[in-house]
Amino acid sequence: MKSQDYSLGFIGLGRMGREILPRIHSLFPVRVVYNRTSSVCNEVPLEGITCASVPSELAEACNIIFLSLTDTEAVESILFGDNGTSKYLKRGTIIVDLSTISLEGTLRIHERLAKSGIKYLDSPVIGSVGAAKSGNLTSVCGGDESAFNRVRPLLASFSSKIFYLGASGNGIRMKLINNAVMGINMSAIAEALNLSGSIGLPKSKIMEVLLTGGASSRILELKRDKIERGDFSPEFSLEHQLKDLRYAVEMARDAGLNPEFSSAAEKLYAAAATEGLGKDDMSAVASGGVSGAAKPHKEVRV
Ligand SMILES: NC(=O)c1ccc[n+]([C@@H]2O[C@H](COP(=O)([O-])OP(=O)(O)OC[C@H]3O[C@@H](n4cnc5c(N)ncnc54)[C@H](OP(=O)(O)O)[C@@H]3O)[C@@H](O)[C@H]2O)c1
């Protein structure tokens, strides 16, 4: 695919968007970006890219538009709200939604856009800010296959693993399964580490030993240093992890299932958010006083 076939737009310069955008732009020039809080455009290097003042401006100029937004509400407001893009999109435009939103919302948006000949790909990403920066995310994509094939080289600029999963919604289904397992896993780690004070084993030792055997996990590998240092500055925020557990529980219930582990993790994350940890990293559920921690944190009961 030649770069002149693409007229690219990007909406959402949050933690992920601001890492993914330069990777796409270094291979295929991005024309226009939009962020709700316009001052963010000054914080991100945008050489050769115009910053639109309303999303509709971007819709008129682009035939492929990436979204990297918080949740279903944010995506629907960008597409269908006042000054939203949908009225201005040309037939055949492809929306590549990198956001993690609900399954129900995904299917609703797909259906609504399809009526105007717009192809909507649910294409969320697995991996956090570091993987985005180094181009090592995993993309899981559902929707029209020819649209997927057209955007595949763009996805490859930030994802080293790309899965086309078929029908619309399957990208989000896979992503919600992934984030439910991740949230359950982190909750199990939090439970183990919060035993530390009562049973007299230091958290650092518990983590060191867990990492050697079958109880190890990728999320423990990734978050061990943060937990040790008591540094809960956000990579993937706790409130986003809670949102994804809620979407995962909703997806399972709509399928007639009772997802007990995801529901328990959702409760833990909801309690942590209520205690004021929502803006911290998702690993803050294990923040109950790591030995030698630089920054003491409020205990969250498991
Ligand atoms: N961070 C990670 O490690 C990670 C990993 C994988 C997937 N994800 C998913 O990727 C998406 C983005 O995550 P992030 O960490 O980059 O989030 P973030 O830093 O919180 O950024 C969210 C973006 O959405 C915009 N936004 C929120 N509500 C909006 C609304 N109502 N209307 C318009 N724009 C709105 C924000 O604009 P403002 O600047 O105006 O607030 C910002 O650009 C989320 O769905 C998340 O679950 C994140």
4-58 pLDDT, tens per residue? 589 999 999 999 999 999 999 999 999 999 999 999 999 988 899 999 999 999 9
CB atoms within 10 A of CB 270: 14
Lowest-pLDDT range, 75-79, 226-230, 295-299? 295-299
With a pLDDT cut of 70, the percent of the chain lying above it is: 94
Rama region for 83: left / alpha / beta (φ>0; ψ in -120 to 50; rest)? left
Tokens of 280: 């911290």
Query: Hey, whose CA ends up nearest to atom 21 of ligand 1?
Result: 14
The strand pairing partners of 66, in sequence order, are: 10, 96
| pLDDT of the residue at 197 | 84
Whether 182 and 141 share a structural domain:
no
Interval between CA 100 and ligand 1 midpoint (Å): 9
| pLDDT of the residue at 293 | 24
- The model's confidence at residue 1, banded by pLDDT at 50, 70 and 90, is low
| pLDDT of the residue at 299 | 55
Domains of the chain: total: 2
Q: Which of 262, 62, 288, 123 is nearest to 192 (CA)?
A: 288
Whether 195 and 134 share a structural domain:
no
Residue 298 placed within a domain: no
Q: Which atom of ligand 1 is closest in space to residue 124's alpha carbon?
A: 7
Whether 184 and 161 share a structural domain:
no
Cβ atoms of 125 and 12 within 8 Å: the answer is no
Q: Which atom of ligand 1 is closest in space to residue 81's alpha carbon?
A: 32
Residue 257: CATH number of its domain: 1.10.1040.10
Residue 50 placed within a domain: yes
Whether 135 and 33 share a structural domain:
yes
Query: Hey, whose CA ends up nearest to atom 42 of ligand 1?
Result: 14
What value does the mean pLDDT take over residues 136-163? 98
Q: Is 69 in the pocket of ligand 1 (CB under 6 A)?
A: yes
Q: Is the pLDDT of residue 141 over 70?
A: yes
Q: Is 133 in the pocket of ligand 1 (CB under 6 A)?
A: no
- The model's confidence at residue 231, banded by pLDDT at 50, 70 and 90, is very high
Q: Which atom of ligand 1 is closest in space to residue 126's alpha carbon?
A: 6
Whether 71 and 33 share a structural domain:
yes
> Which pTM value belongs to this model?
0.94
Lowest-pLDDT range, 38-42, 119-123, 279-283? 38-42
Query: Hey, whose CA ends up nearest to atom 5 of ligand 1?
Result: 128
Whether 136 and 197 share a structural domain:
no
The whole-angstrom separation of Cα 231 and Cα 22 is: 27
Please, what's the b/e burial string for 182-199 (b: 16 or more CB within 10 A of its CB; e: otherwise)? bbbbbbbbbebbbebeee
| pLDDT of the residue at 2 | 61
The whole-angstrom separation of Cα 257 and Cα 260 is: 9
Q: Which of 128, 97, 116 is nearest to 219 (CA)?
A: 128
Q: Which of 142, 20, 36 is nearest to 85 (CA)?
A: 36
Look at the block and give the residue holding tokens 């399957």: 170
Whether 141 and 85 share a structural domain:
yes
Cα→Cα distances 205→23, 208, 209, 223, 240, Å: 38, 5, 6, 15, 29
Whether 239 and 98 share a structural domain:
no
User: Given 167, 185, 213, which residue is the final one in a domain?
Assistant: 167
Residue 55 placed within a domain: yes
User: Given 145, 167, 189, which residue is the final one in a domain?
Assistant: 167
Q: Is 20 in the pocket of ligand 1 (CB under 6 A)?
A: no
Cβ atoms of 247 and 100 within 8 Å: the answer is yes
| pLDDT of the residue at 289 | 38
What value does the mean pLDDT take over residues 188-199? 92
Q: Is the pLDDT of residue 279 over 90?
A: yes
Residue 291 placed within a domain: no
Whether 121 and 46 share a structural domain:
yes
User: Given 147, 167, 187, which residue is the final one in a domain?
Assistant: 167
What value does the mean pLDDT take over residues 263-287? 96
Residue 182 placed within a domain: yes
Residue 26: CATH number of its domain: 3.40.50.720
| pLDDT of the residue at 291 | 27
Q: Is the pLDDT of residue 195 over 70?
A: yes
Whether 192 and 140 share a structural domain:
no
What value does the mean pLDDT take over residues 207-224? 97
Interval between CA 102 and ligand 1 midpoint (Å): 14
The whole-angstrom separation of Cα 151 and Cα 174 is: 19
The whole-angstrom separation of Cα 49 and Cα 148 is: 24
Tokens of 289: 């006083």
Q: Is 106 in the pocket of ligand 1 (CB under 6 A)?
A: no
- The model's confidence at residue 134, banded by pLDDT at 50, 70 and 90, is very high
Q: Which of 198, 61, 173 is nearest to 106 (CA)?
A: 173
Residue 297 placed within a domain: no
Terminus-to-terminus CA distance in the chain, angstroms? 51
Residue 292 placed within a domain: no
The whole-angstrom separation of Cα 148 and Cα 154 is: 10
What value does the mean pLDDT take over residues 62-81? 97
| pLDDT of the residue at 298 | 52
| pLDDT of the residue at 183 | 98
Cβ atoms of 147 and 120 within 8 Å: the answer is no
Whether 156 and 272 share a structural domain:
no
Residue 244 placed within a domain: yes
Residue 125 lies in domain: 3-167
Whether 124 and 208 share a structural domain:
no
pLDDT digits (tens, 9 = 90+) for 97-107: 999 999 999 99
